[in-house]
Structure 1
């Protein structure tokens, strides 16, 4: 869930960089660079989620997204929205993983006690 959220956020941040060209005094190169850099950072974080530091980088992306509101005020809102979606993905994903692990333990215990697989259904 988190990787999907970061991928979607990469698209939005890239487009935000293009929008910055018209609404700030940064110029095309700086605006495009910021948007592209943040998009690449999102994709890098999405690819690192299985490794050490991947989730910390994902949280960092959320902070930078909100901080981008200092340049483009609408990003305060979009950053907060994506931050909330990221947090929901992070905490719900962890809960789902925990429940799957608990179910695997219970199924193994059932097989040990009954000698066969539980009924599907």
Structure 2
């Protein structure tokens, strides 16, 4: 009987910071709610009479996909700014459906916490790692 050979060693995974991890969690869950919000805009016919109701589904889907793409790119600083822009865009949906304002405020607060507190944790972890490296280098 032969023993199976070990799996080939791949390159190690990139370390993700707290801001990236927390931000991606918020954006992924928010994308689900935004898509459902687009369905609500469609179902309630909340768009002006001159705009077909199915555009609500399209807008919700596009915004949800943008959030998912941004969640995957949070390793870059510009993606944090894009995330803030997406939060503002969701808040503009309040003019169509007031309930989207509540969703925007809740997820906007979670996004703010994820990015601000996550960056603070990342700075602290980097400082502690640098102190540990200096202490071991004596």
Pick the TM interval, shorter chain: 0.7 to 0.9
TM-score (norm 2): 0.77
Structure 1 residue runs without a partner (length 5+): 114-121
SS of equivalent residue, structure 2 residue 97: coil
> Which of 24, 38, 43 pairs up with 2:45?
24
For residue 28 of structure 1, report the CA deviation from its aligned partner: 4.5
> Contact (CA 8 Å) 1:24, 1:72: kept in 2 or not?
no
Count of residue correspondences: 113
CA RMSD of aligned residues (A): 1.3
Q: Where does structure 1 differ by over 3 angstroms across 4 or more consecutive aligned residues?
A: 25-28
Say yes or no: does 1:12 pair with 2:49: no
Matching residue of 2:15: none
Which one has more relative contact order, counting CA pairs under 8 Å at least 6 apart? 2
Residues 17 and 36 in structure 1, CA contact (< 8 A), matched pair in contact too: yes
* TM-score normalized by the length of structure 1: 0.87
State the shift of 1:82 in Å: 0.7
| Richer in helix (by share) | 1
